Amino acid sequence: MIRLNGKNKLRTAIFISGNGSNLENLIKFSLLKKSPIEVNFILSDNKKAKGLRFSKKYKVEKKIFLFSKRQKAESQILRHLKKRKIRLICLAGFMKILSKKFIKHFNGKILNIHPSLLPKYKGLNTHERAIANNEKYSGCTVHLVNSKLDSGKIILQKKVRIYEKDTAKTLRKKILKNEHILYPKAIKKFISNL
Ligand code: GRF
**Contact between residue 54 and residue 27 where contact means Cβ atoms under 8 Å apart:** yes
Cα–Cα distances (Å) from 44 to 133, 163, 166, in that order, read 33, 34, 31
pLDDT at 51: 98
Q: What is the pLDDT of residues 14-42, one digit of tens each?
A: 999 999 999 999 999 999 999 999 999 99
Q: Positive or negative, the Cα torsion across 123, 127, 129, 134?
A: positive
CB atoms within 10 A of CB 65: 19
Q: Which atom of ligand 1 is nearest to the CA of 22?
A: 13
Q: What is the pLDDT of residues 84-128, one digit of tens each?
A: 999 999 999 999 999 999 999 888 899 999 999 999 999 999 999
107 torsion bin: left (phi>0), alpha (psi -120 to 50), beta (else): left
State the distance between the two ends of the chain, measured CA to CA, in whole angstroms: 6
pLDDT at 7: 62
Q: What is the pLDDT of residues 130-182, one digit of tens each?
A: 999 999 999 999 999 998 899 999 999 999 999 999 999 999 999 999 999 99
**Contact between residue 9 and residue 30 where contact means Cβ atoms under 8 Å apart:** yes
What whole-number distance in Å separates Cα of residue 115 and Cα of residue 172?
8
pLDDT bin (cut points 50, 70, 90) of residue 3 is: very low
Pocket of ligand 1 (CB under 6 A): 16, 18-22, 51, 92-93, 113-115, 140, 176, 179
Q: Which atom of ligand 1 is nearest to the CA of 112?
A: 10
pLDDT at 59: 98
pLDDT at 24: 98
